[in-house]
Amino acid sequence: MTQQKKRTWLKEPLAILAEGAEGGLVVEGAQIAELVPAGGHPGDIDETVDCSGLVAVPGLINTHHHFYQTLTRAHPQAINKELFDWLKALYPVWGRALNRESFRLATRLALTELLMSGCTTVSDHHYVFPAGLDDAMDIQVEEAGRLGMRITLNRGSMDLSEKDGGLPPDSVVQTTDEILADCERVIKAWHDPTEGAFTQVALAPCSPFSVTTELMKQTAAMAKACNCRLHTHLGETHDEDAYCIEKFKCRPVDYLEETGWMDGRTWLAHGIHFNDEEVRRLGKAKVGVCHCPTSNMVLASGICRTQELELAGVSVGLGVDGSASNDNSNLMEGVRHALMINRLKYGAAAITHLDALRWATQGSAACLGRSDIGRIEPGMQADIAFYALDELRFSGAGDALAALVLCGAHRADKVMIGGKWQVEDGLPHGVDVARLRAEHGAIARKLAGAVT
């Protein structure tokens, strides 16, 4: 006898980002079962949760981050620098600061910040593997599981150090063979391609200036063979263009093509400095781009061509990027920054709050190759973020969905993931926030020179 799944009516939110769901929605088990029109009343309900006063959106999806960087926020040696100088200042600090304990706490802290901002699925690009941190991906699975969040593990990598013409020091790179062996292990252990998956794997060499051409090619081949996704930093700065032209005699997008990465399984972090012809090629290949507005403004990297990319067929998602170039992990704040920077580029009428929210939900889901999350629709996973508009900053707002973005929502009141409440009354289950703040701060002071 099959057990009947519990049906919960999330009743009549103040506003909801879903057509025809003014009366709320019904969650059955892990999925959304039905949308309730205005004034409607669904049948066979086991539980009703009053959502009046709350604004509901699909759980936000973060498609680019570096959790470990929470240990080096506002680092005195790195602030006020652009990407290459910023990286050169931080590589040695990261090499010293990362061990299993600090990495676990950094991961827990970043995940908790994201969850509290309304994020339900994360993708972390981890590429620094100093000696002793071989099980970084496994630690991330444990920590995401503790909070009930979905994670795409990006098994990142660097195998090109200063002595071979790369940017990072020798102490933070691995050999090509070591990297490929661990990629294979991580895929076998954690890649779940099924609907509703909580752990998936993407292969993620760091960038053209920290990875060998051989590793780029072999990683692309492995991703195809194992049917997982590919991720890397590309098109972030003019320095990267100059590096590729000098070293590879071509531009970054040509390099992507030469190494077998112009593929629908690839999504790129940043994707700023593409010319018209490159935008067309990326769209034709169905490559995705994770727009990271906050980081791009902090490092003065440039403005992503979101509109041209989407028109060409590229899926545009959203990411906070690492917590040393943001310097926080709040994806709802990223939505607001996306609205602002894109308005500056394209005009106030061309980019709405709905566009910015779409990037953080549907667009991000497409970047991660997922069709089961990112929208509030029957059959989708029940990943939903609810925001209360009771803070001073919302008082007087006339459009509740627009208010989330324009007034600057930054903390969710409730978050559901796969039909389970993981945040209630603004606090996450599974983590003691005060204790986490104390433990993470202590280890960052000890290892990375933090003062708070």
By CB atoms closer than 10 A (0-12, 13-18, 19+), residue 90 is buried
Q: Least distance (Å) from Zn ion to the CB of residue 158? A: 13
Q: Which two tokens stand for residue 389?
A: 């508009």
Report the alpha-carbon distance of residue 388 to residue 12 in Å, rounded: 13
Q: Scanning residues 138 to 157, which ones bind Zn ion (CB under 5 A)?
A: none
Q: Scanning residues 321 to 380, which ones bind Zn ion (CB under 5 A)?
A: 321
H and E: helices and strands count for the chain:
15, 18
Q: Least distance (Å) from Zn ion to the CB of residue 290? A: 9
Q: Scanning residues 47 to 76, which ones bind Zn ion (CB under 5 A)?
A: none
Answer yes or no: are the C-beta atoms of 285 and 307 closer than 8 Å: no
Considering only 179-187, 217-225, 262-270, 400-408, which stretch makes contact with Zn ion by CB under 5 A?
Answer: 262-270
Q: Least distance (Å) from Zn ion to the CB of residue 295? A: 7
Considering only 10-18, 179-187, 261-269, 277-285, which stretch makes contact with Zn ion by CB under 5 A?
Answer: 261-269
Answer yes or no: are the C-beta atoms of 42 and 53 closer than 8 Å: no
Q: Least distance (Å) from Zn ion to the CB of residue 39? A: 46
Chain position carrying tokens 């920590």: 143
Report the alpha-carbon distance of residue 422 to residue 430 in Å, rounded: 8
> What is the pattern of x (binds Zn ion, CB under 5 A) and - over residues 389-428?
----------------------------------------
Q: Least distance (Å) from Zn ion to the CB of residue 66? A: 6
Nearer to Zn ion, 127 or 387 (CB): 127
Q: Which two tokens stand for residue 39?
A: 């004034």
Q: Scanning residues 154 to 183, which ones bind Zn ion (CB under 5 A)?
A: none
In this structure, what DSSP letter does residue 372 have? S
Q: Least distance (Å) from Zn ion to the CB of residue 45? A: 44
Residue 74: closest CA among 446, 325, 329: 325
> What is the pattern of x (binds Zn ion, CB under 5 A) and - over residues 269-298?
x-----------------------------
Nearer to Zn ion, 159 or 321 (CB): 321
Nearer to Zn ion, 321 or 355 (CB): 321
Burial 22-52 (b: 16+ CB within 10 A, else e): bbbbbbbebbbbbbbeeeeebeeeeebbebe
Q: Least distance (Å) from Zn ion to the CB of residue 44? A: 46
Residue 336: closest CA among 314, 357, 319: 357
Considering only 74-82, 263-271, 347-355, 420-428, which stretch makes contact with Zn ion by CB under 5 A?
Answer: 263-271
Q: Work out the angle at residue 192's Cα, subtended by the Cα atoms of residues 149 and 120, and round it to the nearest 5 degrees.
A: 20
Q: Scanning residues 294 to 323, which ones bind Zn ion (CB under 5 A)?
A: 321
Q: Least distance (Å) from Zn ion to the CB of residue 233? A: 5
Number of residues engaging Zn ion in binding (CB under 5 A) = 2
> Where on the chain is the footprint of Zn ion (CB under 5 A)?
269, 321
